[in-house]
Chains A and B, each alone.
Chain A
Amino acid sequence: MAAHLSSGRVNLTALREAGRRELREFLDKCAGSKAIVWDEYLTGPFGLIAQYSLLKEHEVEKMFTLKPGRLPQADVKNIIFFVRPKLELMDIITDNVLREDRGRSPQRDFHILFVPRRSLLCEQWLKEQGVLGSFIHREQYSLDLIPFDGDLLSMESESAFKECYLESDQTSLYHAAKGLMTLQALYGTIPQIFGKGECARHVANMMIRMKREFPGSQNSIFPVFDTLLLLDRNVDLLTPLATQLTYEGLIDEIYGIQNTYVKLPPEKFAPKKQGEGGKDLPTEPKKLQLNSAEELYAEIRDKNFNAVGSVLSKKAKIISAAFEERHHAKTVGEIKQFVSQLPHMQAARSSLANHTSIAELIKDITTSEDFFDNLTVEQEFMSGIDTDKVNNYIEDCIAQKHPLIKILRLVCLQSVCNSGLKQKVLDHYKREILQTYGYEHILTLNNLEKAGLLKPQTGGRNNYPTIRKTLRLWMDDVNEQNPNDISYVYSGYAPLSVRLAQLLARPGWRSIEEVLKMLPGPHFEERQQLPTGLQKKRQHGENRVTLVFFLGGVTYAEIAALRFLSQMEDGGTEYVIATTKLINGTSWMKSLMEKLEPAPF
């Protein structure tokens, strides 16, 4: 069931197992039959840890979504709320509890499980509402790092970037540090820590402090990770703004991947059996899980989309040929063998069908004129062309009232690629945006300025060309089919963050001191002492394992680039990726925009 987690260099099943065990322990505390009331946001991440069957084994009979009003009837002994520590959710819970029929018998017991942790603020809030005493167990479930795939962990903390950079609230960094401590408890102390950026510095400090404050926490597990690299998202604001061009990246850009699931328009997935054409066309979106458990997906997810078609067609030929084999099967033994392979072949066929349909959906968009124009402008900016004046295409898009997020992505991209815009250009864009989309967006523009995504150029210096050249961020000769450099993931642009990881492994950051100084925040190195006996003696030819932690989010294209580096024959380093949240330019922008609808209550 979780085979995809153990396929990588580090077996992440262990982390998942630890999470499951903790969940079981909690459920068993509330003896008797139970119903769980879910904060809907949590079902996705929990789904990556456990399935309903696990809950059922521990007497969970009913599950509901948290909403105001009376709780549904259910003859269970316990009602357990699984919630994030948010005040608005506490209000709903209060409402639920107050409306509970006190006269019913037997009485139902209430419990709360806070994810990822108990909040004093929330408990105080419940106390003020006079319901805190109704809860028998109030506990926390530290779901810090959730395993998404064999080499991928995420905290799925949506607002981490915003909290860190706009609200100076570093709670998510504290959780990141806790998550790293858990990881070290399971996989050994990580001997080397590198980092770049303010938040990276904080996390490293917290880790070191947590370790120091608990002497006796000396860990005697042989270290699996050699290096930890902590990277602030604001060291590389550029990458998430550009449109990702890998297969997985495009699926995310266009349809949005949530907790490894994607919802797709159903038309292309209608079962086409002869004789029943046209009837029962599904209207609900088709939902698919995307991870490395699916062989074909694992092969194509990180390819540039331009290279996906040829793989799909090759696969089609192989599968067709395999099915043809049945004509050659003559003896009973041969037929038996064919039949035994059938389930595998059917799975392969169904997977091929799905991805052919998805590729068609994406292709409709990537071949559209607007996609093309947008990409042209992005690539011009990233290669340093005309970043210092008002761009015609952006103006046109504003005039035609294209979605605001698209405009903001482009304007921010231009600003980042020019180390800030000339005051006149910035004022012009701001004015156009406010006049066209509404003055209240001044709040969003202000947020973007605070995050450094949109800013006036200070001192009239543009550092981007130097950074671009030194780090080779723009590659003119990119090979999308058989890539030889990470720049294939954006068809020319090599993600800055991943370049930093690549250069750290070889030849080391000393070679790029000058550029590192131009990027925001400190860069540093720390060592954690290992007891003698645990120090690794590397076998000849054995790869190092580096955990790259993106504080503030990471894109699928960046993950693809790191996987590409892992697979390089003479690379010498394999990467495991962790992040506060999987993002793309759109979801990231959304998290930074002011919510403009008034609150519902």
Chain B
Amino acid sequence: MSRARADEEEYWHSSKFRAFTFDDEDDELSQLKESKQAVNSLRDIVDDDDDDLERVSWSGEPVGSISWSIKETSSSSASSLEGRDSSLQKGSSSYAAFPKQVSSYSLSSLFKGEIPNIQCGQMALSDTGVKNYAPELRRPKAEYKDYSNDWSPKDTVRRMQRGKVCSLERFRSLQDKLVLLDEAVAGHDGNVITAVLIFLKRTLRREILFRELEVRQVALCHLIHFLKETGEQKLLLDLLRPCFFSLSLQLSQYREHLNIQDVEKRREFLKGCIGLPFSAEDTSHIQDHYTLLERQIIIETNDRHLETSGQSEIFRKYPRKASILNMPLVTTLFYSCFYHYTEAEGTFSSPTNLKKTFKIPDKQYVLTALAARAKLRAWDDVDALFTTKSWLGYTKKKAPIGFHRVVEILQRNNAPVQVLQEYVRLVEDVETRLSLATKYKCHDVVIETYKDLKDRIQLTAYKCKVERGSAEEEKINSILNNMVRN
């Protein structure tokens, strides 16, 4: 908790938003406790045979469920299953009562109108005549026999939707094929659309197919999806080459880089992507991606050498956990702040070079550098990060991220109180400063702040938080005395 409890509550009450905490904290806690107690006390009373009661195996699969049975039947021999089953049946009467299958109708029988009069809840299926209520739902039977050669495109599509086999070969003219495709698209059934596309792909010249798909975006998407799934990369790239297609298709080519394991090849591929007609914004991201990987390859080669040769102290002291290849930019920056902080801007691995090349905003840079240097406990570097010199030669402390964030990060890296205190002092907002100082026991800062606020009461109260006879206590006493005299 970085925000003091009182603080939080105050924030809540002053805000128009409801806290998602229980209305009455204590009451609620006690309520949960209460029900827990009750539950626990009841354990003693009743014979605790949960397995029987819940009918679930410990992993939670209900006994008899399909996933449970897969485990059972595939792992154990049939005989042990048998034994288990019968014991279960004995164990619990309600379990034994697997409902006997009394149902007398199914979807298909329903459509054939075979059901007599079944009451189910409010639904009464009347027995008005033996006719096909919804024949389109009937399961295809003997469908291979009624084979005809003169189905219209519409009928063909409808038959295919019902899972029947249709010959498409008789659609010979381009005109016919396109009508067929349009019918399929109008049916919204991807299964059929794809089947027709496969037929067109086989029987049409590529240029013609592409040209026609250009004005049929839905069909086009299906073909692209199909090619992706079947791994026909070559045709896919051919499709993508002409630049009349939308942006997402360029991206789908960019996406290919993920399938390339070899870094050098991946880099080459990315280089090729830069030339694709992306939007200006995307082009710059992809350019950055390429530059980053290029950079990482250089750094990786260099550092692996440094590490194995054992020449560099930092690598000996903090061996690398993983390679830097394919890591995000911020991670790379952290890495370079960790291992290459002092390098001159000219080298590829120096943080300042990364910052410049990728136009990393100040805020992000400072955050990352701070985290890296704090991890190494290089407090001087931390100090330098926030020191600016004015043209008159004065030094000034400035943090683009706000000093309360600096304190948080330092604290997370176990900075000693002396270091922490210096930055707590720089937190501008008095409230935040006080709460941080109290939380991290930066006594001097607390005392000074109360002194500036001329808050006798708080100062007196704070006395019990510092050690008896310590310098801090003395300081408080002297301030209090001075305040009286004023």
Contacts and interface: CB of A to CB of B under 8 A. Distances in A.
Given A220-B129, A352-B35, 7 more contacts: A64-B74, A120-B192, A142-B107, A221-B125, A360-B32, A434-B288, A442-B285
Contacts, number: 351
B364 interface: yes
Given A182-B107, A289-B62, A310 B188 contact: no
A47 interface: yes
- Top 4 closest pairs, chain A to chain B, by CB: A287-B60, A11-B121, A21-B106, A171-B190
Interface string B224-263: 0110011000000000000000011001001101110100
B160 interface: yes
A399 B66 contact: no
A506 B39 CA distance: 45
Interface string B1-39: 111000010000001111111110000100110111111
Interface string A286-320: 11110000000000000001100110110111011
A316 B34 contact: yes
Nearest to B57: A287
Contacts of A410: none
Interface stretch (A55-63, A231-239, A546-554, A562-570): A55-63
B103 A349 contact: no
A63 B70 contact: yes
Given A320-B42, A349-B46, A350-B50, A399 B364 contact: yes
Contacts of A218: 133
A217 B261 contact: no
A213 B183 CA distance: 14
Interface string B438-465: 0000000000000000000000000000
A436 B330 contact: yes
Interface stretch (A369-377, A458-466, A495-503, A518-526): A369-377
25 contacts: A2-B99, A17-B105, A20-B101, A22-B108, A22-B139, A52-B68, A53-B98, A120-B191, A168-B217, A178-B137, A202-B188, A214-B135, A216-B132, A313-B31, A319-B42, A346-B46, A347-B53, A352-B35, A369-B3, A380-B17, A430-B285, A438-B326, A438-B328, A443-B254, A598-B259
A169 B221 contact: yes
Interface of B: 1-3, 8, 15-23, 28, 31-32, 34-46, 48, 50, 53-54, 56, 58-62, 64-70, 73-74, 78, 97-99, 101, 103, 105-111, 120-126, 128-129, 131-137, 139, 158, 160-161, 163, 187-192, 194-195, 198, 217-218, 221-222, 225-226, 229-230, 247-248, 251, 254-255, 257-259, 261, 281-282, 285-286, 288-289, 292, 326-330, 358, 360, 364, 367, 405
A273 B121 contact: no
Given A11-B121, A21-B103, A63-B73, A316 B285 contact: no
B172 to A, nearest CB: 20
Interface in A26-79: 38, 43-44, 46-47, 50-55, 57, 61-65, 72
A313 B35 contact: yes
B67 A47 contact: yes
A446 B251 contact: yes
A598 B99 CA distance: 46
Given A140-B163, A185-B137, A222-B124, A167 B221 contact: yes
A490 to B, nearest CB: 10
A352 B39 contact: yes
Interface in A152-174: 163, 167-171, 173-174
Best-buried of B97, B128, B190, B288 by chain A (most CB within 10 Å): B190
A19 B61 CA distance: 22
A356 B53 contact: no
Nearest to A315: B35
A442 B59 contact: no
Contact of B107 (A185, A289, A379): A185
B66 A13 contact: no
Contacts of B258: 440, 596, 598
A343 B20 CA distance: 37
Nearest to B270: A439
Contacts of A590: none
A121 B123 contact: no
A124 B201 CA distance: 14
A427 interface: yes
Contacts of B97: 1
A411 B326 CA distance: 25
A512 interface: no
Nearest to A51: B64
Given A14-B123, A170-B190, A446 B98 contact: no
Best-buried of B20, B32, B67, B248 by chain A (most CB within 10 Å): B20
A10 interface: yes
A202 B218 CA distance: 14
Nearest to B49: A346
Interface string A185-226: 111100000000000001000100010011011111110100
B136 A213 contact: yes
Given A51-B98, A350-B54, A173 B131 contact: no
Given A174-B188, A436-B328, A371 B158 contact: no
B393 to A, nearest CB: 33
B306 to A, nearest CB: 25
A25 B101 CA distance: 13
A245 interface: yes
Binding site secondary structure of chain A: helix
A185 B58 contact: no
A446 B136 contact: no
A186 B53 contact: no
A365 to B, nearest CB: 10
Interface string A476-498: 10101100000000011000000
Contact of A186 (B110, B139, B218): B110
A288 B288 contact: no
A383 B327 CA distance: 38
B63 to A, nearest CB: 9
Contacts of A313: 31-32, 34-35
B39 A353 contact: yes
Contact of B60 (A125, A261, A273): A261
A284 B59 contact: yes
Given A435-B364, A442-B282, A22 B107 contact: yes
Nearest to A82: B66
Nearest to A349: B42
Given A170-B190, A217-B134, A323 B248 contact: no
Nearest to A26: B139
Nearest to A595: B258
A20 B222 contact: no
Best-buried of B19, B109, B191, B261 by chain A (most CB within 10 Å): B191
Best-buried of A142, A218, A356, A430 by chain B (most CB within 10 Å): A356
A402 B463 CA distance: 39
A306 B188 contact: no
Best-buried of B17, B50, B66, B78 by chain A (most CB within 10 Å): B66
A53 B88 CA distance: 13
Nearest to B107: A18
Contact of A492 (B17, B59, B73, B137): B17
Contacts of B110: 18, 185-186
A399 B191 CA distance: 45
A537 to B, nearest CB: 15
B74 A356 contact: no
Nearest to B188: A170
Contacts of B248: 446, 450
Given A169-B221, A221-B124, A119 B191 contact: yes
B31 to A, nearest CB: 4
A469 interface: no
A6 B105 CA distance: 17
Nearest to A401: B330
A367 interface: yes
A363 interface: yes
Contact of B194 (A121, A284, A383, A435): A121
Contacts of A432: 364
